[in-house]
């Protein structure tokens, strides 16, 4: 009985330290409700502010919409052209490093301009807005391109979904889509004449040819062995009994499965060698997206949103001009 008061005190302290889950949920939803109510009050006050200065708001929106209409004119539109590249012999990061030199082209010197690096006329080079390259992700590591890593955030520790060593994705922004074929030829010539890329391509191609020659020799050797027969029992190869000649059982060496394996390996190498026409190949070329990056409607919408925020700021300045002048004068 002497421990009863202590136990009672312990139970009371435990109840005070316990957290009621319903109270926590109620506090959270109450906070969310207050936040939403504050947003509604802010939106209402903003609408009242815009309505009180509707003439100013109208003028600002008209001016910015006109600017957006002008910025979205056909001469200022930018189109996107994209292509998937197959890399023969070299590696994706080597080709990407070479292409990044084009992205860093500068007009400060005649030797660093895009027209000088690609040997293009200035009339074509000035319409190229940007050149970018991206790694291609292979899910399940089955040599199939599944996704383009546009954000460049793929984890290096992911050993199942890996970057493909022989694929790259190129994106070009241009103002004149009719110049894309000319740019494509110059772009491929720039990459395929790079000394390192070209050297790795030649080494890989020679290695493929040596492998095919080796497979040809192995196939010829197995073909010759297939014609050789042997006796199952060497001691009974030939036997003369009762004026009759008995010949033992003969077997032919079974190399059909080995030959099929060699022919399959040879077919793969010959196909790879036939497709290795250049270090970097664009099977489909650059495909142009007919929808511009900055169309007239999108440009007007962006300028209109910017004009709305500027109109809100000007309205605040107009309504508080006396306070501002008074503060500045003091």
Confidence at residue 291, expressed as pLDDT on a 0 to 100 scale: 86
Distance separating alpha carbons of residues 296 and 68, to the nearest angstrom: 7
Confidence at residue 219, expressed as pLDDT on a 0 to 100 scale: 85
Same domain, 223 and 176: no
Count other Cβ atoms within 10 Å, centred on residue 32.
10
Distance separating alpha carbons of residues 191 and 278, to the nearest angstrom: 10
Residues 247-306: tens digit of each pLDDT: 555 444 556 788 888 889 999 999 999 999 999 999 999 999 988 887 788 888 889 999
Same domain, 283 and 247: no
Evaluate whether residue 220 is within a structural domain.
yes
Identify the domain containing residue 55 by its residue range. 51-76+303-312
Same domain, 70 and 82: no
Strand partners, 167: 86
Evaluate whether residue 39 is within a structural domain.
no
Same domain, 101 and 241: no
Evaluate whether residue 9 is within a structural domain.
no
Evaluate whether residue 179 is within a structural domain.
yes
Q: How far is CA 259 from CA 223, 225, 229, 271, in A?
A: 8, 11, 17, 18
Distance separating alpha carbons of residues 32 and 63, to the nearest angstrom: 38
Rounded to an integer, the average pLDDT of 6-26 is 65
**Residues 143 and 167 sit within 8 Å (Cβ to Cβ):** no
Same domain, 94 and 153: yes
Q: pLDDT band at residue 9, thresholds of 50, 70 and 90? A: low
**Residues 132 and 171 sit within 8 Å (Cβ to Cβ):** yes
Same domain, 96 and 136: yes
Evaluate whether residue 13 is within a structural domain.
no
Q: pLDDT band at residue 12, thresholds of 50, 70 and 90? A: low
Rounded to an integer, the average pLDDT of 205-223 is 89
- Mean residue pLDDT across the chain: 83
Same domain, 123 and 239: no
Same domain, 129 and 259: no
**Phi and psi angles of residue 154, each rounded to the nearest 5 degrees, phi first:** -70, 135
Q: pLDDT band at residue 5, thresholds of 50, 70 and 90? A: low
Same domain, 213 and 227: yes
Evaluate whether residue 29 is within a structural domain.
no
Is pLDDT larger for residue 23 or for residue 189? 189
Q: Is the pLDDT of residue 321 over 50?
A: yes
**CATH number assigned to the domain comprising residue 162:** 3.30.70
Confidence at residue 212, expressed as pLDDT on a 0 to 100 scale: 93
pTM greater than the 0.75 cutoff: no
Same domain, 94 and 139: yes
114 CB contacts (<8 Å, ≥6 apart)?
102, 105, 120, 125, 128
Same domain, 125 and 171: yes
Q: Is the pLDDT of residue 13 over 90?
A: no
Residues 116-151: tens digit of each pLDDT: 888 889 889 889 988 999 999 998 878 888 899 988
> Which DSSP category does 234 fall into?
G
Burial class (CB in 10 A: 0-12, 13-18, 19+), 326: exposed
Q: How many domains does the chain have?
A: 3
Q: Angle, nearest 10°, between helix axes 296-319 and 54-71?
A: 150
Evaluate whether residue 90 is within a structural domain.
yes
Same domain, 83 and 71: no
Place of tokens 């490093």: 97
Evaluate whether residue 239 is within a structural domain.
yes
């Amino acid at each position: 009985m002497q421990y009863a008061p202590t136990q009672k005190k312990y139970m009371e302290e435990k109840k005070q330290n316990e957290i009621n889950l319903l109270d926590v949920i109620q506090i959270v939803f109450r906070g969310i409700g207050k936040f939403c109510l504050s947003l509604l009050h802010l939106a209402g006050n903003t609408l009242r502010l815009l309505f009180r200065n509707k003439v100013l708001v109208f003028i600002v929106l008209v001016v910015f919409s006109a600017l957006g209409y002008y910025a979205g004119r056909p001469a200022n539109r930018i189109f996107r052209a994209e292509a998937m590249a197959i890399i023969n012999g070299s590696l994706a990061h080597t080709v990407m490093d070479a292409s990044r030199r084009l992205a860093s082209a500068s007009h400060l010197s005649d030797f660093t301009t895009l027209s000088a690096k690609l040997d293009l006329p200035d009339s074509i080079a000035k319409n190229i807005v940007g050149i970018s390259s991206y790694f291609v992700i292979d899910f399940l590591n089955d040599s199939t391109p599944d996704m383009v890593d546009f954000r460049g955030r793929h984890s290096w520790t992911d050993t199942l979904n890996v970057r493909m060593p022989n694929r790259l994705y190129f994106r070009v922004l241009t103002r004149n889509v009719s110049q894309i074929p000319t740019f494509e030829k110059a772009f491929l010539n720039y990459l395929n004449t790079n000394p390192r890329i070209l050297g790795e391509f030649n080494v890989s191609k020679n290695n493929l040819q040596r492998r095919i020659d080796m497979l040809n020799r192995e196939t010829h050797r197995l073909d010759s062995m297939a014609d050789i027969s042997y006796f199952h029992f060497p001691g009974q190869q030939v036997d003369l009994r009762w004026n009759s000649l008995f010949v033992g059982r003969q077997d032919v060496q079974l190399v059909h499965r080995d030959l099929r394996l060699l022919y399959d390996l040879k077919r793969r190498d010959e196909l790879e060698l036939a497709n290795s026409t250049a270090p970097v190949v664009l099977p489909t070329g650059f495909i142009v997206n007919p929808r511009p990056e900055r169309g007239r409607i999108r440009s007007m919408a962006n300028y209109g949103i910017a004009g709305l925020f500027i109109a809100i700021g000007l309205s605040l300045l107009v309504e508080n001009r006396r306070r501002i002048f008074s503060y500045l004068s003091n």
